[in-house]
Amino acid sequence: MDLMRTQTQPAPLWQNWARTARATPRRFASPSTEAEVAALVATEAAEGGQVRVVGAGHSFTPAAVSDGLLLQLDALDDLEWVGPPAADGSRLVRVGAGIRLRALCRLLAEHGLALENLGDIDAQSVAGAISTGTHGTGATLRGLADQVRGVRLVGATGEVVEADQDQHRELFEVARLGLGSVGVLTAVTLRCVPAFTLTADERPRPLGAVLEALDDEAGPVHANDHFEFYWFPYTDVVLTKANNRGGDAGPLSPVLRMVDDEILSNGVFEVTNRLCTVVKSLTPKVNWVAARALSARRYTAPSYEVFATPRRVRFREMEYALPAHAVVPALRAMNTWLRHTGETVPFPVEVRFAAADDVWLSTAYGRDTAYVAVHQYHRLPFARYFRAVEDIMRSHDGRPHWGKLHRRRAEDLAPAYPRFDDAARVRRAADPEGLFANEYTDRVLGGR
Ligand X SMILES: Cc1cc2nc3c(=O)[nH]c(=O)nc-3n(C[C@H](O)[C@H](O)[C@H](O)COP(=O)(O)OP(=O)(O)OC[C@H]3O[C@@H](n4cnc5c(N)ncnc54)[C@H](O)[C@@H]3O)c2cc1C
Binding site for ligand X (CB under 6 A): 17-18, 52-59, 63-64, 73, 97, 119-121, 124-125, 127-129, 131-132, 134-135, 179-180, 184-185, 311, 401, 403
HSE (CB half, 13 Å, CA atoms) of 368?
A: 12
| Measured distance CA(293)–CA(151) in Å, rounded | 44
Report, in Å, the least distance between residue 97 CB and ligand X: 4
- Residue 315 or 385: the one with the smaller Cβ distance to ligand X is 315
Minimum distance, C-beta of residue 3 to ligand X, in the bound complex (Å): 19
CB of 63 to ligand X, least distance (A): 3
Taking the least distance from each CB to ligand X, the nearer of 57 and 284 is: 57
- Smaller CB distance to ligand X: residue 64 or 370? 64
- Find the shortest distance in angstroms from Cβ 184 to ligand X: 5
d(CA 358, CA 366): 6
Least spacing, CB of residue 82 vs ligand X, in Å: 21
Cβ of residue 315: shortest distance to ligand X, in angstroms? 7
- In one-letter notation, the amino acid at residue 21 is A
Cα angle vertex 348, ends 345, 220, to 5°? Answer: 150
* Nearest-approach distance from CB 46 to ligand X, in angstroms: 20
Closer residue to ligand X in complex, CB, 56/413: 56
Shorter beta-carbon distance to ligand X: residue 49 or 119: 119
Cα 60 to chain centroid distance, Å, stands at 10
State which residue, 24 or 253, has the beta carbon closest to ligand X: 24
Instruction: Specify the residue, 139 or 284, whose C-beta has the smaller distance to ligand X.
Output: 139
Least Å from the CB of residue 58 to ligand X: 3
